[in-house]
Structure 1
Amino acid sequence: MAGSYVAFELDDLETKHAAAAGPYSEFLRRRGMSLGMFTLSPGDEDTQHPHMADEVYIVLKGRGTLRVVDEDVEVKAGSLISVDHGEEHRFVDIAEDLEMLVVFAPPDTED
């Protein structure tokens, strides 16, 4: 069934993301969800704002802290964290370069 799926290789996504401007780059958008890659390095300021969509972070590499409202969650490679739509959140205290896949459901709207 041509057209009923899309396959990606992580190496290709990393290469495309490295060429993109900014820490987030979306690589798939469907009616009910979107996928993107998000990277932050030690010293970076995470300037994201609450989203209109539910969100899942899948940490591929690195270590840091995700602050959700007033609670800190330590994250590392292998961590999966879900953040409800509308919740204030940002990454702080990034100890090692973070590389994450991000799922928005439904797709987040652009500002």
Structure 2
Amino acid sequence: MTAGSAELLDPQALADLRALDPDGSQGLLRRLGEAWARSLERLLPELDRAAAGPDLDAIRRIAHTLKSSTANLAALHLSAQWQTIEQQCKEGRAEGLAGQLAQARAGTLRVREALRAVE
């Protein structure tokens, strides 16, 4: 794992994932990361369209999905960012949302790259 991945991926959560496939023979972490990256191909364009509105309900649904999936992939800090966005949308608050979305989206792309680097 590179220094950048260590900052983006929680070491204990990553160790827990690796424990599910201790010898790596199933390629579990790689397969999970690839499946998540494929889901981003759909979710990020949807997020961009929703943010243009802004459609807070659509943003909330996408943020909820990304909150859960990033937590499952050891990206706990990023998961917390998506949780904050989800909550803000639930409360109907659009102020400051564009900046939060830009940060979380950029973080999501960094996590995608970090997962590709994890062996």
Structure 1-normalised TM-score? 0.26
More helix by share: 2
RCO comparison, higher one (Cα < 8 Å, 6+): 2
Higher radius of gyration, 1 or 2:
2
Structure 2-normalised TM-score? 0.25
